[in-house]
């Protein structure tokens, strides 16, 4: 497998896309599957495993927490006896979901374990754990609310109330850990939960792996009943879903300058970023949504309104789309962008500004003044995979070439992104 961390610049020339492409595996689905396969005792066979840096980090974590895994005939086979860390260090790479989902699982161990990460993860907030884990009998020592975290359990589920407004990922981790600890007659109450569909995905994966499932009381309370569950009965077969988050860039590429078919995206998925379909319909591109594939091609595009509060990862592809839509597009949910791999409201404003697209930020609203032409120039990924992909898609119909520095950032979620658009006819050079 090629190294997805080595720095490179990608130069994208204006290109018309044509043909068929499969969306990549969803890292949200894959990372959850890894966690669920670790939690249950027995064998899990995971088809369509992801290969992104975040996915690889998740495999490293479950191994450090006691699971054994191998890839055979393209199927990821995980064997676990439940969470049981041999060592005292865990590294979550650059994955926000990784640290927030695995930290409560790490806390199931009795001995002290240090959790660390890399790149932008080192500056993202983790103070949630300082506040919440002590209420579950876990001692925590963070670096002023940042990584590294030193955690010593074992975590004991109890009735707690948490704040869900910063990220849903903390809840995802607690739900997995409560299931692993066989939580009984206890609930997690959540105030102001954001990114709700991501919690639906967590519950779906827990169900698919036969873990103990809480009752979802209107996203305000998750109640684990006092009924025991046999989490270990059979071999589990799970298929990692196609990725609506990465797929959104392909779909937008089709809408901006193409006539393509994107396969492997399930319209019945609980993934938050499936909502990209609404924006595509509203902007007036040609789109035909079928069970197994989406056909999409360009047409005169018009500005649209979209609320991305619960699907914040759609901001970057939608900004690329809005750049080509006549009029001012308004996207709500800017507050959700501050603590991603970059502060995405500002990085989108800066990098698209270089391409001649004016973006105005009005508190929670982003206004993109589209339809005035996009100019190819030198931009920077800001070490954020979604900024790199947004610039690349915007480059497809720009005037002149676009040079994207530190384009290897795409490896976090979609290492084959540039190869995929090349297969569709995009002229891309990596150097």
Ligand X SMILES: O=C(O)C1=C[C@@H](OP(=O)(O)O)[C@@H](O)[C@H](O)C1
Ligand Y SMILES: C=C(OP(=O)(O)O)C(=O)O
Per-residue CA distances from 242 to 25, 188, 278 (Å):
5, 30, 18
The DSSP string of 39-82 is HSEEEEEEES---SHHHHHHHHHHHHTT-EEEEETTEEEEEEES
Catalytic: 313? yes
Residue matched to tokens 């993934």: 271
In whole angstroms, what is the distance from residue 59 CA to residue 38 CA? 10
- Establish whether 310 is an annotated binding residue: no
Asked whether position 298 contacts ligand X by CB under 6 A, the answer is no
Residue matched to tokens 């308004």: 330
Active-site residue (options: 54, 243, 313, 384)? 313
* Segment 335 to 394, residues that bind ligand X, using CB under 6 A: 336
Asked whether position 168 contacts ligand Y by CB under 6 A, the answer is no
- Establish whether 412 is an annotated binding residue: yes
The β-bridge partners of 370 are 327
In whole angstroms, what is the distance from residue 334 CA to residue 224 CA? 33
- Establish whether 168 is an annotated binding residue: yes
Residue among 38, 92, 97, 252 that touches ligand Y (CB under 6 A): 97
> Nearest distance from residue 220's CB to ligand X, in Å?
16
Please say which residue, 126 or 261, places its beta carbon nearer to ligand Y: 126
Please say which residue, 313 or 405, places its beta carbon nearer to ligand X: 313
Residue of closest CB approach to ligand Y: 96
- Establish whether 169 is an annotated binding residue: yes
In whole angstroms, what is the distance from residue 393 CA to residue 352 CA? 12
Residue among 52, 109, 172, 342 that touches ligand X (CB under 6 A): 172
Stretch that binds ligand Y, among 37-45, 95-103, 259-267, 281-289 (CB under 6 A): 95-103
> Nearest distance from residue 101's CB to ligand X, in Å?
7
Stretch that binds ligand Y, among 12-20, 66-74, 92-100, 234-242 (CB under 6 A): 92-100
Query: Do residues 79 and 68 make contact, with C-beta atoms less than 8 angstroms apart?
Result: yes
> Nearest distance from residue 251's CB to ligand Y, in Å?
17
How many CA atoms are closer than 13 Å to the CA of 316, on its beta-carbon side? Answer: 30
Asked whether position 313 contacts ligand Y by CB under 6 A, the answer is yes
Which tokens go with 257? Answer: 């300058």
Number of residues lying near ligand Y (CB under 6 A): 8
Residue among 32, 380, 386, 397 that touches ligand Y (CB under 6 A): 386
Q: In the β-sheet with 221-224, what is the strand arrangement from edge to edge?
A: 160-163, 186-191, 221-224, 215-217
43 Cβ contact partners less than 8 Å away, ≥ 6 residues apart: 77, 78, 79, 235, 236
Binding to ligand X by CB under 6 A, coded x per residue (else -) over 178-197, reads ----------------xx--
Query: Do residues 283 and 426 make contact, with C-beta atoms less than 8 angstroms apart?
Result: no
Q: Which does 29 bind (CB under 5 to 8 A by kind): ligand Y, ligand X, none?
A: none
Per-residue CA distances from 334 to 128, 307, 345 (Å):
21, 10, 6
- Establish whether 163 is an annotated binding residue: no
Stretch that binds ligand Y, among 65-73, 91-99, 105-113, 154-162 (CB under 6 A): 91-99
Residue of closest CB approach to ligand X: 167
DSSP three-state, residue 19: strand
Name the site residues for ligand Y (rule: CB under 6 A). Answer: 95-97, 313, 340-341, 386, 413
Query: Which amino acids are annotated catalytic?
Result: 313
């Amino acid at each position: 497998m090629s190294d997805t961390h080595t720095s490179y610049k990608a130069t994208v020339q204006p290109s018309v896309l044509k043909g068929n492409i499969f969306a990549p595996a969803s890292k949200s689905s894959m990372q959850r599957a890894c966690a669920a396969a670790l939690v249950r005792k027995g064998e899990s066979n995971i088809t369509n495993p992801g290969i992104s840096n975040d996915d690889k980090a998740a495999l490293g974590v479950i191994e450090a927490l006691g699971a054994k895994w191998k890839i055979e005939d393209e199927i990821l086979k995980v064997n676990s006896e439940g969470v049981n860390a041999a060592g005292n260090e865990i590294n979550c790479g650059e994955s926000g979901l990784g640290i927030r989902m695995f930290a409560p699982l790490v806390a199931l161990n009795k001995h002290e374990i240090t959790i660390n990460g890399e790149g932008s993860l080192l500056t993202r907030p983790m103070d949630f754990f300082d506040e919440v884990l002590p209420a579950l009998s876990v001692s925590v020592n963070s670096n002023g609310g940042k990584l590294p975290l030193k955690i010593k359990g074992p975590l004991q589920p109890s009735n707690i109330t948490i704040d869900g407004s910063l990220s849903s990922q903390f809840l995802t981790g607690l739900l997995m850990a409560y299931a692993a600890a066989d939580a009984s007659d206890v609930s997690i109450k959540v105030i102001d939960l954001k990114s709700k569909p991501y919690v639906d995905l967590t519950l779906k994966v827990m169900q698919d792996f036969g873990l103990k499932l809480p009752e979802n009381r209107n996203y305000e309370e998750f109640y684990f009943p006092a009924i025991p569950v046999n989490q270990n009965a059979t071999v589990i077969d799970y298929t990692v879903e196609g990725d609506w988050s990465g797929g959104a860039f392909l779909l937008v590429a089709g809408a901006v300058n193409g006539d393509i078919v994107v396969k492997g995206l399930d319209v019945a998925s609980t993934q938050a970023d499936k909502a990209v379909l609404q924006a595509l319909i509203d902007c007036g591109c040609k789109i035909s949504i079928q069970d197994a594939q989406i056909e999409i091609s360009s047409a005169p595009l018009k500005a649209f309104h979209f609320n991305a509060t619960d699907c914040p990862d759609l901001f970057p592809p939608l900004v690329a789309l809005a750049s080509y839509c006549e009029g001012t597009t308004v996207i709500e949910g800017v507050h959700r962008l501050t603590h991603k791999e970059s502060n995405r409201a500002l990085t989108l404003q800066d990098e698209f500004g270089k391409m001649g697209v004016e973006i105005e930020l009005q508190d929670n609203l982003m206004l993109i003044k589209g339809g005035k032409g996009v100019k190819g120039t030198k931009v920077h990924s800001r070490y954020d995979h979604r900024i790199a992909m947004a610039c690349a898609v915007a480059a497809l119909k720009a005037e002149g070439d676009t040079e994207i520095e530190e384009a290897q950032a795409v490896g976090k979620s979609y290492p084959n992104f540039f190869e995929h658009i090349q297969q569709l006819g995009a002229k891309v050079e990596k150097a």
